[in-house]
Amino acid sequence: MAKIINGAPLPNIPWQDRPAGCDDVVWRYDANPIIPRNPAKGCARVFNSAVVPWGDEYIGVFRADHTVVTPALHVGHSKDGINWEIDPTPIDWRDENGEPFASTYYYDPRVTWLEDAYYIVWCTDDHGPVLGLGKTNDFKSFTRLPNTTLPFNRNGVPFPRKVNGKYLMLNRPSDDGHTPFGNIWLSESPDLVYWGKHKLVMARGTDLWWESTKIGAGNVPIETDEGWLVFYHGVVNTCNGFVYSFGAVLLDLEDPSKVLYRGKEYLITPEKDYETTGFVPNVCFPCATLVDADTGRIAIYYGAADTYVALAFTTVDDVVKYLKENHQ
Ligand code: BMA
């Protein structure tokens, strides 16, 4: 049995058992999507968002595309991880001196507890898309640290702890458009300010068409006794545009630039109406997981069609078993 390590029990994790007769590794919540259109004044669509436990409730940083279409980050609260209240006011980012540190746009946040605070990585604007970094302790005041990359990089995922004394971040160098290429890289930092020693973790899978255009890490890696478990999106280009599915990979615990098992097939691909139809059709984009270290249950939060937040479930044992038996 694969186990989650260094994780906490989460007895009230959002959960539904695998439906009878279903042998999928990952299965959807049957009342998806959990966040509908226009969930707060001025927020037209909320998707690609990150949630964490908060006492015995949940809190998160949500990507909200406003009614001018530009994306911003908003805090959201939930008692059960399923029903969410999105604050109508965006996060007011300040620099380390308390001065406003605003950007034109903010999207695809990831959140993790890391030593002394909740850290947030997202894509933001500095003469092109870069990865922003910020932190909070109360989800009321938010401090921005220096951006972590040069342009262009639009997909960043922090690790929940230092590995071999270094902070780590998965990321994807890209362009300033809708990037028709992209591989997953690992960058390290001694202090969360200077980032380097960039290493390629894995390249898009040219022979496996579901991930042949680009790939990008999804959730903050889950530490298991078999390796770091990461759900990642894989994109195929078609005559009607990109299709975003997601699969999973296990990375080496001591050196996460090493791939142990990379799944062959997607685990979720756009099939349901809320995934195939919306502002951007055919997108399933994971940004966060909740885990219960006692049972190994995993709740995956993914953006659907750049319009909704949806939820899917699996267990660490199910995914690890699948990856060992069906890897590339
Ligand atoms: C990516 C990002 C995501 C988005 C996806 C599909 O490049 O912009 O936020 O979900 O495209 O539109």
Q: How many CA atoms lie within 13 A of 44 on its CB side?
A: 11
Report whether residue 65 contacts ligand 1, using a CB cutoff of 6 Å: no
Which tokens hold the place of 225?
Answer: 């006794």
Q: How many CA atoms lie within 13 A of 70 on its CB side?
A: 9
CA dist., res. 101 & res. 115, Å (int): 24
Listed residue (31, 108, 123) closest to 285, CA to CA = 108
pLDDT number for residue 66 = 98
Measured in Å, residue 56 CA sits from the centre of ligand 1 at 31
Contact at 8 Å (CB) between 229 and 246? no
pTM: 0.98
pLDDT number for residue 208 = 97
Looking from the CA of residue 174, the nearest atom of ligand 1 is 7
- Tens of pLDDT along the chain (328 residues)? 999 999 999 999 999 999 999 999 999 999 999 999 999 999 999 999 999 999 999 999 999 999 999 999 999 999 999 999 999 999 999 999 999 999 999 999 999 999 999 999 999 999 999 999 999 999 999 999 999 999 999 999 999 999 999 999 999 999 999 999 999 999 999 999 999 999 999 999 989 999 999 999 999 999 999 999 999 999 999 999 999 999 999 999 999 999 999 999 999 999 999 999 999 999 999 999 999 999 999 999 999 999 999 999 999 999 999 999 999 9
- Cα separations in angstroms, 164 against 188, 190, 253, 256: 10, 10, 10, 11
Specify the amino acid at residue 21: G
Report whether residue 216 contacts ligand 1, using a CB cutoff of 6 Å: no
Contact at 8 Å (CB) between 249 and 314? no
Report whether residue 48 contacts ligand 1, using a CB cutoff of 6 Å: yes
Report whether residue 107 contacts ligand 1, using a CB cutoff of 6 Å: yes
- Cα separations in angstroms, 131 against 52, 71, 96, 126, 213: 20, 15, 17, 9, 21
**First vs last C-alpha separation in the chain:** 22
pLDDT number for residue 206 = 84
Provide the 3-class DSSP secondary structure of residue 237.
Answer: strand
Looking from the CA of residue 280, the nearest atom of ligand 1 is 12
User: What φ, ψ does residue 273 adopt, rounded to 5°?
Assistant: -55, -40
For a ligand 1 pocket test, name from 47, 123, 280, 302 the mutation site with the most ligand atoms within 8 angstroms of its C-beta: 280
What is the residue with the minimal CA distance to atom 1 of ligand 1? Answer: 178
What's the Rg (C-alpha) of the chain?
18
Looking from the CA of residue 179, the nearest atom of ligand 1 is 7
Report whether residue 281 contacts ligand 1, using a CB cutoff of 6 Å: no
Q: Apex CA 135: angle with CA 129 and CA 138, to 5°?
A: 135
For a ligand 1 pocket test, name from 105, 152, 154, 301 the mutation site with the most ligand atoms within 8 angstroms of its C-beta: 154
Looking from the CA of residue 285, the nearest atom of ligand 1 is 10
Measured in Å, residue 303 CA sits from the centre of ligand 1 at 9
- Cα separations in angstroms, 43 against 67, 251, 302, 312: 6, 36, 18, 24
Report whether residue 283 contacts ligand 1, using a CB cutoff of 6 Å: yes
pLDDT number for residue 10 = 98
CA dist., res. 244 & res. 279, Å (int): 14
Cis peptide before 33 (omega within 30 of 0): yes
